[in-house]
Amino acid sequence: MDLFRYRQGRLYCEELPVADLARRFGTPLYIYSAGTLRRHYRKLASAFAPLKPLICYSVKVCSNTHILRLLREEGAGFDLVSGGELYRVLEAGGDPARCCFAGVAKTDAEIRFALAKGLRLFNIESEEELENLAHLAAEAGKRARAAVRVNPNVDPKTHRYMATGKKETKFGVDLERAERVFRQFAASAGARHVSLEGVHCHIGSQITTVEPYVQAVTKALDLVRALGGAGIEITTLDFGGGFGAEYEGGQALDAEAFACALVPLLEGTGLEIVMEPGRFIAGNAGILVTQVQYVKAGGDRRFLLCDSGMHHLIRPALYGSYHHIWPVDPGEDFTPAQRIRDEAFPGTEVVDVVGPICESSDFLAKDRHLPPVRRGGLLAVFSAGAYGMTMASEYNSFPRPAEVLVEEAEARLIRRRGTYEDLVAPEKDV
């Protein structure tokens, strides 16, 4: 699953003790394992190899430019949702011709930026956006390549905030309307400036079954065939991201399982396949290390008051997500065989792990069995590599955490800790 392992009672990231990293770089600290990032990317690449897909790593998941560079070296293209993400990809030396742009409400400025760089695919969310893309492409003297994002109305069986392929969500164009959109566009003047050559769908995130993909891809292929029958040739199918990571042990599927279901559907169609995985690659490749500042009793509860919380990892507060938490140096008696929810150890105590933010949504975990932890102790919050740092804020004016990338026995600071000056810099000289 990943290269964070307990050895003789101490947590290691690859070859380095996490406690040493915390001492060297301070806390709160995001630590990423390069080996895990590479391993997960390669698992996908090899499972889907028969389709020769363009694998566009979803930048929103973990967007540090050093991590983008690592994945680019592995062969990844990128899935973007904003001009800012395009900027990051360019900084990381990414090739725009291997990027797709799926912003839900792209601004003219973002579209112009993307046109100037020459992206592989604009994933279009509405009729108006398509018209606007044609207009801006004409103005820029470019011909854009685009796909219509369709909403296949399937239930991905995930948290409702992460379901994006159901009819009631804001995403994509309803499948029934999609055919008309293609036909009308083919007959319009805009077709000179936009090659509308693809069908895109992204049905959600943290998906742990194959059926929703089979349903969505089957519907997308039906549309491709119907369009073909009407003389509109579709060359590209982008089936999005969404493959789940491991949070509690045992719920995520391997890349092979998704590939076994999807490759037979898509092989031999002649379509160019794009996929947009994010969490599958980065989710298990990062931890957040936080230091317990105080331990206190309150009512009938015991609180570990930490230097990190919802401002650095908002997933527990926003989605009720489970992140496994365990001391960085628990000692041999408390070294877990595996990281699973409520692993029963004699001598653990039930605690809430909370942060310094002034609201009650600020927790990383509730009612957790943890070994006794004292003031100054370090905790590892696991599976924090996806949607951790990218969703972090400076709420309550806490500077952002530092980020470190470990490869074997080498640790590299890839983002310095935020400072008080960083907090006020954009407010100076205005």
Query: Interface residues with ligand LLP (CB under 6 A)?
Result: 58, 61, 79, 102, 162, 202, 205-206, 240-243, 276-280, 315, 386-387
Q: Give the C-alpha distances (Å, rounded to integers) separating 48 from 43, 85, 315, 317, 365.
A: 9, 25, 29, 35, 36
Q: Which is nearer to ligand LLP, 309 or 330 (CB)?
A: 309
The span from the CA of 165 to the CA of 153, in Å, is 5
Q: How far is the CB of 145 from ligand LLP (least distance, A)?
A: 17
Q: How far is the CB of 369 from ligand LLP (least distance, A)?
A: 24
Strand-pairing partners, residue 79, are: 58, 100
Q: Which is nearer to ligand LLP, 162 or 263 (CB)?
A: 162
Closest CA to 124 of 143, 97, 151: 151
Q: Give the C-alpha distances (Å, rounded to integers) separating 21 from 31, 78, 291, 387.
A: 8, 30, 13, 22
The span from the CA of 231 to the CA of 225, in Å, is 10
What φ, ψ does residue 113 adopt, rounded to 5°?
Answer: -60, -45
What φ, ψ does residue 51 adopt, rounded to 5°?
Answer: -90, -5
99 is catalytic: no
Coil, helix or strand at residue 232: coil
Q: Which is nearer to ligand LLP, 123 or 335 (CB)?
A: 123
Which DSSP letter does residue 9 get?
T
The span from the CA of 125 to the CA of 102, in Å, is 8
Q: How far is the CB of 101 from ligand LLP (least distance, A)?
A: 10
Q: Which is nearer to ligand LLP, 74 or 343 (CB)?
A: 74
Strand-pairing partners, residue 16, are: 13
Q: Which is nearer to ligand LLP, 242 or 377 (CB)?
A: 242
Q: How far is the CB of 373 from ligand LLP (least distance, A)?
A: 26
Q: Which is nearer to ligand LLP, 240 or 355 (CB)?
A: 240
Cβ(288)–Cβ(308) under 8 Å?
yes
Q: How far is the CB of 387 from ligand LLP (least distance, A)?
A: 3
Q: Which two tokens stand for residue 324?
A: 């496994």
Closest CA to 396 of 374, 418, 364: 418
Cβ(300)–Cβ(346) under 8 Å?
no
The span from the CA of 398 to the CA of 160, in Å, is 30
- Residues carrying an active site annotation: 358
